[in-house]
Amino acid sequence: MPQIAFTGHLRRYLDISTAEVSGATVGEALDGAFRTNPRLRGYVLDDQGALRRHVSVYIGGLPVLDRQRLTDPVTDSDQIHVLQALSGG
């Protein structure tokens, strides 16, 4: 199963940690994480189900290409990292 990890910024607000999740796409893997922590969905996805503007997801060190439908494929050995970018000036 793919492993999914969240940045410390998200962990500060939600009780989440690295977990093994099932899924053939990044969207399915995220759904696995949302099942164990439903509040996480609002931090990661917008109302349309796409990644929020300030959220980045990487699979094996490469950014996901499909930020709208989250159809990028994942394998059992993939590491998925979810980062919430900080903005400001």
Q: Which residues on neighbouring strands pair with residue 62, listed in sequence order?
A: 59
Low-confidence ranges of the chain (pLDDT < 50): none
- Spatial distance between the Cα atoms of 59 and 15, rounded to a whole number of angstroms: 22
- Spatial distance between the Cα atoms of 4 and 21, rounded to a whole number of angstroms: 7
What is the model's pLDDT at position 57? Answer: 96
- Spatial distance between the Cα atoms of 28 and 35, rounded to a whole number of angstroms: 11
What is the model's pLDDT at position 9? Answer: 75
List domains and CATH numbers for the chain: 3-84 (3.10.20.30)
Reduce the DSSP state of residue 63 to 3 states and report it: strand
